[in-house]
Amino acid sequence: MKEVLDNTKERMGKCINALQSELGTIRAGRANPGVLDKITVDYYGAATPINQMASISVAEARILVVQPYDSSTLKSIEKAIQASDLGINPTNDGRVLRIMFPQLTEERRKELCKTVSKTCEESKVAVRNVRRDAMDKIKAKKKSNEITEDDVKEAEKNIQKLTDKYIEEIDKIGAEKDKEIMSI
């Protein structure tokens, strides 16, 4: 029974980590190297993430500097950023790319908050799916007479506590991201 709880806790923790990395890629008006994490560049026939091909640093509050390790890849990195759904155009000075993040409009901020809410809701569903799997495992153990009815009740109570804790954590992370997006 303990292994079911440990497995459940681990899987719910992974849901939280996935949510945080997903929300990290959402642009909030400030320069954040994480927004480039999902963008890949065709590098000698392989889709390679930008952060493996260049150093990415924050020059100012709203400016990212991308300096490729191999200067011949500058153009392909620039094209990949332009083709992404970030809606930003890098400036190329021949050695580095500078990415200026414009101030977000009120409308765009609201759209981003909706995206955050949707992503948080998907994470909650994932946590609930983990809970359902754990409950199914506990019931299967009961059917095979490995555990008693009291153990089942106790395990279900503990699994529900875990679920509530992780859903509360998701709500908190979502509220922080909304606050970050809405602050000017």
| Residue 177 to residue 23: CA distance in whole angstroms | 7
Residues 114 and 175 in one domain: yes
Structural domains of the chain, count: 2
The CATH number covering residue 18 comes to: 1.10.132.20
Residues 115 and 131 in one domain: yes
Last residue of a domain, one of 68, 100, 132: 100
Q: Chain-wide mean pLDDT for the chain? A: 87
Confidence of residue 28 (pLDDT cuts 50, 70, 90): low
Residues 48 and 90 in one domain: yes
Confidence of residue 22 (pLDDT cuts 50, 70, 90): confident
- Kindly report, residue by residue over 65-101, the tens digit of the pLDDT: 989 998 888 888 888 888 887 777 888 888 888 988 7
Does the pLDDT of residue 47 top 90, yes or no? no
Range of the domain at 111: 2-24+105-182
- Kindly report, residue by residue over 112-123, the tens digit of the pLDDT: 889 899 999 999
Residues 89 and 38 in one domain: yes
Q: What pLDDT sits at residue 37? A: 79
Residues 44 and 72 in one domain: yes
Residues 134 and 109 in one domain: yes
- Per-residue burial over 6-28, b if 16 or more Cβ lie within 10 Å, else e, is eebbebbeebbeebeebbeebbb
The CATH number covering residue 60 comes to: 3.30.1360.40
Residues 15 and 65 in one domain: no
Residues 136 and 166 in one domain: yes
Residues 49 and 81 in one domain: yes
Token pair, residue 86, equals 């970030």
39-56 average pLDDT score:
86
Helix (H) or strand (E) holding 46: strand 46-49
Q: What pLDDT sits at residue 159? A: 93
Residues 56 and 69 in one domain: yes
Residues 20 and 78 in one domain: no
Q: Is 57 helix (H, G, I), strand (E, B) or coil?
A: strand
Predicted TM-score (pTM) of this structure: 0.71
Residues 77 and 96 in one domain: yes
